[in-house]
Structure 1
Amino acid sequence: MASSRWELELWGIGERSLAVVREESLRHSQTHCLRADSARLVLDFSTRSDLLRPHSGTWGAMSPESRGKSTMSKRIFLSLALLASLGLVACGDDGTPPVTDSGTDDSAMGDGGTDCPTGQTECDGTCVDTDSDGMNCGACGTVCGAGEVCDGAGTCAVSCGTGLTDCSGSCIDTANNPAHCGGCGMACGAGEACLESMCATIDSCDTPSDPGAAGVTLSAPSGAAVEGGAPATYTVVLDSQPCTYVAVSVAGDAQIDGEPLTFVFTPDNWDTAQTVSGVAVHDFDIEGDHTGVLAHTATSGDTSYAGITIADVTVDIEDRAHVAHVSVSMGGAGANSNSLRPKISNDGRQVAFVSNASDLVPDDTGATTDVFLRDMMMGTTQRINEIPGGGQADSGAAYVQLSADGSVVAFASDATDLVTDTTSGGREVYYWNATDGVALASTFCSGCNQEMSAAFSISADGAFIAYSTRRAMVAADTDSEYDIYTLTLADGTLTHDSLNTADENGTFYWGSNAFTPHLSSTGRYLGFNSAARNLDTPDITVQNFHAYSKDRTDRTLTRTSFNDGGTDNCDGTHHVSNSSAPFISTDGSISVFSSACAFTLDSGAPADTNGFTDIFVRDIAATTTTRISLAHDGAESDADSTVVSISSDARYVLFRSAATNIVMNDTNGEQDLFVHDRMTSATIRVSYDAVYGELTGAVSDVAGFSPNGNFVVFATSDRILSTDDNDSTDVYAVRLR
């Protein structure tokens, strides 16, 4: 069963224009209503109770339940007067409210180096409460399944909807269940019914009219139920007047829920039709349009209606994706210019991106490209690259990176007035946090080559920033090429890391720079690529860039772009067979990189003969090299693929490809984003619209991936949601699980 179900209803694509946001926890239950100007979006999340859901650029705090807010308000209970008139005698109610499950926090990746407060555990560099974290329930990496939450005691438990209680793994309506009346295990006696959570003695009666006239009529559904959106409705009415009450209960299946769960007919209202709403469960399965079934049972003191057979209702369901519009203007519509290069936090709440739009925040002229941070829960956007005291910088920013918890933003900028420190007057790398504002990560060096690459990386725990520069920042840096340095933010320590195991420079070919650093979650491992010689054995013999992993603790360097089964180089063709900088798993065991080199692979795998750049996974200890950018039928892909990011445990790999055969029915001829699951070997396309349809245009060259692999952010010119009313490139977030 599922992780904690978060449900957002944004009505704009459908008939209504209301966002209902609900949150239920062990401690409290509350309901919020938000207006939505357009685009209905619904997201079911398995995550924390402060997490998010898209509503014109927000994810709303959601409830774990899948049923509507109105379930309890719509449920009709017999009044005490009615009970008395029907001869029902209350026989017990302990007054205990139904127990509900809390939302959970799934923000965890990393394996060490973080001091956590009492009651929290470090999981992949992030402090979490393993008693209540659905992604780390009871222990790091223990993920609760679909329909489950972490119950506050470190155990995955069933997540029940409004009005339902988890009784030994089953969701029970204790208001009308005779085996659990008013609470789990509180059974009613023989001849008693459960009414309004109380056991009551039933005086049987015979229908005064023809018993054969008893029956229940159901109308056809009004239409399809939309996942996370408009429900389907139908009516229920009795065929004849009963001599006492008739309670009808509605039960859905895994695809649909009924609202209300129970309603009552009396001798006075028996011929008044009552309406049932079939609310589609908004799951994470890409299943296309499908159906759900609602079953009905009757309980009554009228012998003609007690246990009478009532037909099931089958409802058509329209499948919907979990997609949110991130780059929205202050007015809630699309921004007035391009937004690009997004990154997303581990819990999906914070998204950083760059944009030259002027309507994302007040007092922005749009004259320069700025860095923005969007809070998807609060629906707020702030500009990050502001000068001391606030205000617009004198030059723009480029790429951006974000820590796993969203608290540290790193970016590159040519501005000269962001800090009071001495700068080169050209590109520098900066970082920001809410307490201290903007600070300089790169270091000025007088009289040296000031060139700074736009490539830099921040560790998921936000403790380290690595960047590539020609600046000779330490005495050992004796070459004129780009090298990689790592800054420890806590104490300002700077280490030169693009070195061999002896911490010596390699022998550089001309132009054999060390580029594109990728720090692991805790910053212990650094992935980079270089064409230098004498970095590792066997030495390279052809000038191509190779992939390396540097252990920043024991200082060892390992080349990871080897052929399968050993440590033979894939040298390839001069200046053609380059490998990208690898992404390294938190424990340093896995390296993921793209390469144009034709690697020798396991004998059971197809030979690398397609002549395209592919994605490879190197298990460093096992010395195996595996290609994952394959067609859906196991054949070679038919175009280039480039790795974009990995989850911190390297289970999930996000990559970009123009190949048409990685998934079936890829006909847009554009660059798409894909996620490969190394555990299941499944690859899915994740750049899609609200109905899982393929985009008509390409995604931008830079995308973001949360360290836990649950969220993807990308930029596209496609108008995925109705809030996107511009002709610019916009940023979207997708929830995968």
Structure 2
Amino acid sequence: MVAISVSAAPANRQPSPSLLSLGDDGRQGNAFSVRPEISADGQVVAFISMASNLVTDARPGLNIYVRDVGLETTRLAYRDAGAIGAVDTDPTISGNGKVVALASTVGIGFHTSARQIVLVEGDERDVVSRNDDGDVSTGQSVTPSLSFNGRRVAFVAVAENLAPGCSERFSAIYLRDRATGTTRCLSVGKDGQPADGASLQPVISADGMFVAFRSAATNLVAGDTNGVDDVFVYSVGEATLRRVSVGADGAQAEGESSDPSISGDGTNIAFLSRAGNLDRRAMNGEYAVFVRDLSNSTTRLASVSSKGKAAETFSGQPRISADGRYVAFLSPSSVLAGKRSNGKRQIYRHDLSTGDTILVSRGHDALPGNGNSFQPAISANGQMMAFRSAASNLVKEDTNLTDDVFHITLPVSDR
């Protein structure tokens, strides 16, 4: 395998990414790496990999790793996951970079086919998909999201025993407070009855006070009559729900909305929608990226070029920086890539303050990535990002012919 070395880019041009899914010796992974999650300072990245050569004690199959960008070290996130037959998915990392959460079939004191939410902090292990009495969830628990310090954990579960207000009929959103040892159901109908549809994709704000999620339920808020999935946000302090996927005038979205991403203080929420009535520029029926500012009740289109022109095709996987300024997303749009477009899915970062949109999946040859890129993750100030890509031209000597995880440091503006 070829070791990768990356030199700094000249100051007068945008830097290109560096390969992150490496072993301590700089060796490229011998199989695919995906699903990066990044700490607030951009220095710690968790990811999933099938590679067997990143560390010496990995079990066969998928493992979850943590890469320290500054120290250039790679380690297993969860050594108990070395058990044969374990299934580990959905890694995420706290903003402070100290806590890793994942869904696993191997935990403390149980071994079950139902995945549970496991937190790893140093040498400590904690199963958090429990009720107030400490009983583990009776069903699957997946897709955790952590507050900055890892105290609060939002997750999805299909269970009958975790908290009042939810039932096992549909997947529901739960919030576990590790400090108080309590679990509450967030996706509860406005009348206190269980939600009448599935709820998914929870994301928690850095301060742990807001949780956004996607739901097909029609009884979470009054006036939900559009018959499609919407994005909602739960206020932990007020114990209230409000719908996020609405226009500036409060009108409900005319198309499906999903994939929320929340700023550190919970005031700005990025999401996908096919609705044509949220912004007049997005009327092609394709998924577009929007940002809802809850403090001033505005909804704006973010999947646009630096000239403000909307992507002519779909965009996806939005991620907003904790400071609420930058939105990362993917799109194969030729409007965004311009004359350099090659039809591949690229990663972009849009600046909500200046309107600038830059190509992130940019090769060492200054051309867009020659393979599809996915799953952007963004640091708190939007300067550092990680993403997955099949492109072979992002760094020199990328020879493993599979998806890798990349890291990049981008310019930020003080405007």
Structure 1-normalised TM-score?
Answer: 0.52
In 2, Cα distance between the equivalents of 1:598 and 1:495? 35
* Structure-2 change in CA distance of 1:716 and 1:505 (3 Å): same
Out of 424, 428, 431, the residue aligned to residue 119 of structure 2 is 431
Q: How does 1:246-265 map to 2 (within 5 A)?
A: none
Residue number in structure 2 paired with 1:593:
271
In 2, Cα distance between the equivalents of 1:686 and 1:335? 22
SS in 2 for 1:734: strand
* Structure-2 change in CA distance of 1:497 and 1:284 (3 Å): farther
1:507: how far off?
Answer: 5.0
Q: Does 1:640 align with 2:314?
A: yes
Out of 375, 378, 399, the residue aligned to residue 90 of structure 2 is 399
Residue number in structure 1 paired with 2:230:
546
In 1, Cα distance between the equivalents of 2:136 and 2:266? 37
Give the conservation status (yes or no) of the 8 Å contact 1:470–1:481: yes
Give the conservation status (yes or no) of the 8 Å contact 1:372–1:383: yes
SS in 2 for 1:654: strand
Q: Which has the higher contact order (CA 8 A, sep 6+)?
A: 2
In 2, Cα distance between the equivalents of 1:544 and 1:449? 29
Out of 514, 521, 524, the residue aligned to residue 206 of structure 2 is 521
1:631: how far off?
Answer: 4.0
Q: Does 1:378 align with 2:71?
A: yes
| Gap runs ≥5 in structure 2 | none
1:593: how far off?
Answer: 1.0
Residue number in structure 2 paired with 1:618:
292
Q: Does 1:360 align with 2:360?
A: no
AA matched with 2:75? Q
Which of the two has greater strand per residue?
Answer: 2
Q: Deviations over 1:75-105 (max 9, x none)?
A: xxxxxxxxxxxxxxxxxxxxxxxxxxxxxxx
Larger radius of gyration: 1
* Structure-2 change in CA distance of 1:284 and 1:405 (3 Å): farther
1:632: how far off?
Answer: 4.5
* Structure-2 change in CA distance of 1:664 and 1:636 (3 Å): same
* Structure-2 change in CA distance of 1:38 and 1:621 (3 Å): closer
* Structure-2 change in CA distance of 1:403 and 1:38 (3 Å): closer
AA matched with 1:283? A
1:479: how far off?
Answer: 5.8
1:677: how far off?
Answer: 0.5
Q: Does 1:568 align with 2:251?
A: yes
Residue number in structure 2 paired with 1:41:
7
| CA RMSD, Structure 1 to Structure 2 (Å) | 2.5
Structure 2-normalised TM-score?
Answer: 0.90
Residue number in structure 2 paired with 1:325:
19
Residue number in structure 2 paired with 1:419:
108
Give the conservation status (yes or no) of the 8 Å contact 2:203–2:262: yes
Residue number in structure 2 paired with 1:490:
179
* Structure-2 change in CA distance of 1:500 and 1:329 (3 Å): same
In 2, Cα distance between the equivalents of 1:377 and 1:499? 43
SS in 1 for 2:382: coil
* Structure-2 change in CA distance of 1:624 and 1:347 (3 Å): closer
Residue number in structure 2 paired with 1:10:
none
1:620: how far off?
Answer: 2.2
AA matched with 2:387? F
Out of 225, 229, 240, the residue aligned to residue 556 of structure 1 is 240
In 2, Cα distance between the equivalents of 1:477 and 1:541? 22
SS in 2 for 1:342: strand
* Structure-2 change in CA distance of 1:618 and 1:506 (3 Å): farther
Residue number in structure 2 paired with 1:650:
324
* Structure-2 change in CA distance of 1:435 and 1:683 (3 Å): same
Q: How does 1:243-392 map to 2 (within 5 A)?
A: 282-283=10-11, 285-286=13-14, 321-365=15-59, 367-387=60-80, 391-392=82-83
* Structure-2 change in CA distance of 1:461 and 1:728 (3 Å): same
1:622: how far off?
Answer: 2.6
In 2, Cα distance between the equivalents of 1:663 and 1:520? 31
Q: Deviations over 1:448-471 (max 9, x none)?
A: 86133x422112232211111111
* Structure-2 change in CA distance of 1:717 and 1:735 (3 Å): same
Give the conservation status (yes or no) of the 8 Å contact 2:156–2:202: yes
Residue number in structure 1 paired with 2:217:
532
* Structure-2 change in CA distance of 1:600 and 1:725 (3 Å): closer
* Structure-2 change in CA distance of 1:610 and 1:376 (3 Å): same
Give the conservation status (yes or no) of the 8 Å contact 2:48–2:64: yes
Share of identical aligned residues, percent?
26
* Structure-2 change in CA distance of 1:475 and 1:536 (3 Å): closer
1:411: how far off?
Answer: 1.2
1:596: how far off?
Answer: 0.9
Q: How does 1:169-180 map to 2 (within 5 A)?
A: none
1:521: how far off?
Answer: 1.0
In 2, Cα distance between the equivalents of 1:584 and 1:721? 31
1:607: how far off?
Answer: 4.2
In 1, Cα distance between the equivalents of 2:322 and 2:41? 14
In 2, Cα distance between the equivalents of 1:410 and 1:558? 27
1:686: how far off?
Answer: 0.7
1:524: how far off?
Answer: 0.3
* Structure-2 change in CA distance of 1:431 and 1:660 (3 Å): same
| Gap runs ≥5 in structure 1 | 1-35, 43-226, 228-281, 287-320
* Structure-2 change in CA distance of 1:633 and 1:476 (3 Å): closer
In 2, Cα distance between the equivalents of 1:730 and 1:334? 9
In 2, Cα distance between the equivalents of 1:515 and 1:482? 7
In 2, Cα distance between the equivalents of 1:705 and 1:544? 29
